[in-house]
Structures are given as structure tokens and as C-alpha cells.
């Protein structure tokens, strides 16, 4: 084979190698582009799914948190038994089942009460009832702000029937909690007592150590109008007696 033919073969071989390399590079770039597009699409899908999630509650695995010694759960705070401005319960935590349209800073309970409420809410949800915290612990200053606004709105005489003066609110103990449900748009209204969630609470809250603190017909003893949403943690022993006898916390403690 002469030199001219060898040169032609080398040129042809070089051209073939170049074309193959171009094809591989082109396909590789396309493959990377496809993969990048797929990843972007998946990322956008995940982001959309997260952003479109509108769950109002979390579903934790409930576990008891231990022993509690910081606060007497049978402490009585009412119009005749106030606490001081500096009274702040220890060991405040936020329950897992909370209304998302409320201030999270107002949703704390003592740890024992929070654990009991999470167990209550978890069991209620298992039976098809969504029950969540709207407000719980309130400082003296916050109660003072709320009470004064109610007085401006409705006058002192009427405000005293449904709102506690600062220092006289159970909410300052971290043992009281206002709950609600989607059936009443998470509002605190007397109609809540007629909902399936409100009825479930009235029938079952004592099993978890809670009482409906301000029942209808007990206004002369408690000093406040009917509030089917207002729970007070007293522990299972006291809650059982109060439920069975149909009495108030005041009457239970007096006996």
C-alpha cells in the first residue's frame, strides 16, 4: 500500500472518530439537560405539594413526659382567689394539637396538662373529632389588656360575667385551655357545646384529667357564663369525682 492510500485511510479514520465523539458529546449534553429538567420538575412538584398542604394540626406519637412537681394542679384561681402579677408557672410547653390561626405564644400549658391534652386530642381525632388549642397560658399583662378591652366594649358589669380581671384568670396557671374545632371555624362560641366535638369533650374530657370548667347553670358558683370550650386540668382523680357528682371545682375543693 503506497503512502497516498495510507494518508487517505488516516484522514477517514480521524473524521469517523471526530463524528463519533461529537455524537456522544451531543447525546451526553441532552441527557444531562433531560435529567436537570426532570430534577427541576420533581423539585417544583415537591415544593407545590408542601406549599399546598393546609393541615391545621400535627399528628405526633404521644408519649408521657415524666414526673411533675412544679405546680399544684388543684390550685384554685377565681374572683375570690387571685394570683400575683409575677405568678408564672414553671415547665410551660406547647401542645402539638394547636389552631394555626392563633398566636403560638398564647398556646402554652404546663407539661403535664399539655401531655394530657395531646392524648385527649389524639384519641378524639381517632374517633373523627378534631380538637385543637386556641389559647392557653396568659400572663397577667395579657389578661389585663384583654379585660380592659372587654370593659371598653361591653362595660364592666357585662365584662365581669365572661372575662376575668387580671390575676383572677385560670389561664395564668397554665392549667386552663380554650379549645375549638373546624365545625365552628375555630371560634369560641356557646354553640360549640352542641357540636359533635363539644359533646365528645363533655362526655370524655374527665378521662384525661380535664373538666369543663364553666358549665351552664353553675354561674352563681363559678362567677362566669357557660363556656363549653374552656377546659381546666385537675388530674384524673378530681376530674372523675367532679364529673360524677356534677359539681364545680370550687365545690370539690370545699368538700
Which positions are catalytic?
227
CA-CA distance, 19 to 13, in Å (whole number)? 10
Q: Do the bridges between strand 176-180 and strand 132-135 make them parallel or antiparallel, or are there none, so unpaired?
A: antiparallel
Displacement of CA 179 from its chain's centroid (Å)? 10
The C-alpha atoms of residue 237 and residue 17 are separated, in whole angstroms, by: 88
Residue 231 backbone zone (phi > 0: left; psi -120 to 50: alpha; other: beta): beta
CA distance 202 to 212: 7
Q: With the C-alpha atoms ordered 75, 80, 86, 92, is the resulting torsion angle positive or negative?
A: positive
Contact (Cβ atoms closer than 8 angstroms) between residue 227 and residue 213: yes
For 93, the 3-state DSSP assignment is strand
Contacts of residue 245, defined as CB under 8 A and 6 or more positions apart, other chains included, come to: 252
Amino acid at each position: 500500500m503506497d503512502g497516498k492510500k495510507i494518508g487517505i485511510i488516516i484522514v477517514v479514520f480521524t473524521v469517523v472518530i471526530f463524528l463519533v465523539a461529537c455524537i456522544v458529546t451531543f447525546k451526553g449534553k441532552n441527557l444531562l439537560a433531560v435529567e436537570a429538567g426532570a430534577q427541576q420538575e420533581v423539585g417544583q412538584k415537591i415544593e407545590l405539594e408542601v406549599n399546598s398542604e393546609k393541615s391545621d394540626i400535627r399528628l405526633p406519637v404521644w408519649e408521657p413526659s415524666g414526673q411533675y412537681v412544679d405546680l399544684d394542679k388543684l390550685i384554685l384561681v377565681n374572683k375570690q382567689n387571685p394570683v400575683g402579677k409575677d405568678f408564672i408557672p414553671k415547665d410551660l410547653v406547647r401542645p402539638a394539637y394547636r389552631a394555626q390561626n392563633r398566636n403560638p405564644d398564647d398556646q402554652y400549658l404546663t407539661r403535664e396538662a399539655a401531655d394530657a391534652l395531646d392524648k385527649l386530642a389524639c384519641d378524639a381525632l381517632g374517633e373523627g373529632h378534631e380538637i385543637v388549642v386556641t389559647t392557653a397560658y396568659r400572663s397577667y399583662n395579657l389578661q389585663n389588656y384583654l379585660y380592659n378591652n372587654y370593659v371598653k366594649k361591653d362595660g364592666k358589669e357585662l365584662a365581669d360575667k365572661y372575662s376575668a380581671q387580671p390575676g383572677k384568670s385560670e389561664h395564668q396557671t397554665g392549667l386552663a385551655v380554650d379549645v375549638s374545632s373546624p365545625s365552628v371555624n375555630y371560634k369560641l362560641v356557646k354553640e360549640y357545646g352542641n357540636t359533635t366535638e363539644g359533646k365528645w369533650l363533655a362526655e370524655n374530657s374527665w378521662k384525661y384529667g380535664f373538666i369543663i370548667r364553666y358549665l351552664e347553670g353553675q354561674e352563681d358558683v363559678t362567677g362566669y357564663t357557660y363556656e363549653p370550650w374552656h377546659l381546666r386540668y385537675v388530674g384524673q382523680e378530681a376530674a372523675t369525682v367532679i364529673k360524677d357528682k356534677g359539681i364545680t371545682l370550687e365545690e370539690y375543693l370545699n368538700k
